[in-house]
Amino acid sequence: MFESCLTLLSTGVESRPSVDSFRAFLRDRGVAWPDEPRDTTHPLDVLVDLSVNWLVDLFFALVVRRNGRTRLELKEAPVVWASFRGATHADQLQTVAELRHYASKMGSGLQLNKTRAQHLATVEARVLHFLETNLSVSNHARSLDVVDVARLAEWTPAVPSSLWIAILKKHLKGAVVIRGSTEVLVDSVEHVVSFGNLLKQFSAKELLDLIGWWLARLFSDLAGIQRDSSKHSEARDASRVCENGTALLQLGLDE
C-alpha cells in the first residue's frame, strides 16, 4: 500500500491505494484511527511491529545484526515524527481542524468528536515538545551500551522485562531467538530513557491514538487524499509529503 503511494508521489501516475485496506492495516495493529484505539494494545507492541515488519521507525529502529554473533540493535531513528516537529508551534484550532478534516477523509465521512480532537492535538504538541527537549542530547555525546534484553526495563520502568521479551519474541520469531540474556546494542541510552519516560507520562490510549493519527496523516499525504485548500495548509502539506516521501523511499517500504 505504501508502494502505490510512492509510485504516485515519484511519477505522478494515478495509483490511489485503498483507504479501506489502510484502515484494516491500522486495525490489525490496534490503532484503527480515526476510530478509538483498543485498550488491550501496548504502544511498544505497535512500535516494534512497525519497525521490524514495516520499516517505519517512529520513536526508534530495531534491527538484527549478525557480525559474527547475533545481536539486536536499538537505534535512535525517529524517521516519521521528525517531519511533524512543526506541530509544536501550530495553533491548536488549526490542528483540531486538520485532525477532523483528515478523519473525515480517512473514515469516509466519519466525524471526529471535537473534544477528542482537542485532546489529541494537545497530546501531540506535548509529545513533540517532550521529544524535542529530551532528544537535544543528540547534539552532544551520547552513551552507547550493550545490555541484556532483560535490563531494558531499568530504563523503561513502565515496561517490565517480561513484556519486552514477549513483544520481541512475537515480532522477531524466526529471525533470532529471544531470551532475557539476548544482547542489545543501544546507540543512545538517553534516547531509550526518554522513550521510557514518555510511556510513563502518557497513557497507552493517548499514545496509540497519536500513532494512528501520524500514520493516517502520512498515508493521506502520500496517497494524495484531498486536503484543505488554503494556501497555508497546502504549503505545509506539500513540505510534509516531500519529507515523508523521501524518508519512505530511502526505507523502501512496501506492503
What span, in angstroms and rounded, lies between the C-alpha atoms of 100 and 92? Answer: 12
Q: What is the pLDDT of residue 40?
A: 81
Distance CA 134, CA 76 (A): 12
- Tell me the pLDDT band of 187, cut-offs 50, 70 and 90: confident
Which whole number is the average pLDDT over 122-150?
A: 77
Question: What confidence score (pLDDT) does residue 22 get?
Answer: 82
Q: How many CB atoms lie within 10 A of CB 93?
A: 10
Share of the chain above pLDDT 70, in %: 68
With a cut of 80, say whether residue 45 has pLDDT above it: yes
Query: Whole-angstrom Cα distance, residue 208 to residue 193?
Result: 19
Please give the helix or strand (H or E) that residue 64 lies within, else none: strand 61-66
pLDDT-wise least confident of 84-88, 102-106, 139-143: 84-88
Neighbours of 2 (CB within 10 A): 23
250 or 17, higher pLDDT = 17
Q: Is 80 helix (H, G, I), strand (E, B) or coil?
A: coil
Give the number of other Cβ atoms within 10 Å of residue 217's Cβ.
Answer: 24
Query: Residues 6 or more apart from 50 whose CB is under 8 A from it?
Result: 29, 56, 57, 58
- Cis geometry, peptide bond prior to residue 34 (ω within 30 degrees of 0): yes
Q: What is the pLDDT at residue 86?
A: 54
Best-predicted range by mean pLDDT (40-49, 133-142, 217-226):
40-49
pLDDT value at 139 more than 90: no
Sheet holding 70-75, edge to edge: 61-66, 70-75, 183-186, 145-148
Query: How far is it between the farthest Cα atoms of the chain?
Result: 55
pLDDT of residue 202: 93
Per the model's pLDDT, the better-predicted residue between 141 and 152 turns out to be: 152
Q: 195: closest CA among 160, 247, 159, 169?
A: 159
Predicted TM-score of the model (pTM): 0.78
Q: CA–CA separation, 150 vs 137, rounded Å?
A: 25
- Confidence check: pLDDT of 115 > 70: yes
Q: How far apart are the C-alpha atoms of 50 and 28, rounded to whole Å?
A: 11
Q: Is the pLDDT of residue 234 over 60?
A: no
Q: What is the pLDDT of residues 243-252, one digit of tens each?
A: 444 443 333 3
Residue 46 and residue 29 in contact, taking contact as beta carbons nearer than 8 Å: yes
**Residue 164 — very low, low, confident or very high, per pLDDT cuts 50/70/90?**
very high
pLDDT score of 255 more than 90: no
DSSP 29: T
Domains defined for the chain, CATH in brackets: 2-251 (1.10.1380.10)
